[in-house]
Amino acid sequence: MDGGDLSPVVEFMVSQPGMIERVLAEHIPDAAGDCIGCGGQMRVKWKCVHYECAVLARDRRGRPRP
């Protein structure tokens, strides 16, 4: 996915307590470099759009966590 405006998704994630952390915890690469959180059927390469949005949302919230 490219060229899309992700800001509505980012704003939504910022507004949902715990969602950013959950997405960051679930959308991680497996040994083949595919995203686990997106599921095995689609073969989505990590970093997926969910992960990218969660990172942006975390930055937007302005409270980076370890």
List residues binding Zn ion (CB under 5 A): 27, 35, 37-38, 48, 50
CB of 49 vs Zn ion, minimal distance in Å: 7
Q: Which structure tokens are listed for 49?
A: 């759009």
User: What does the alpha-carbon distance between residue 59 and residue 27 come to, in Å, rounded to a whole number?
Assistant: 17
Identify which of 58, 57, 62 has the alpha carbon closest to the alpha carbon of residue 9: 57
- For the bound state, the minimum distance from the C-beta of residue 33 to Zn ion, rounded and expressed in Å, comes to 12
Strands of 1-52, DSSP E? none
> In terms of CB distance, is 34 or 62 closer to Zn ion?
34
Least CB distance from residue 44 to Zn ion, whole Å?
6
* Cβ nearer to Zn ion, comparing 20 with 48: 48
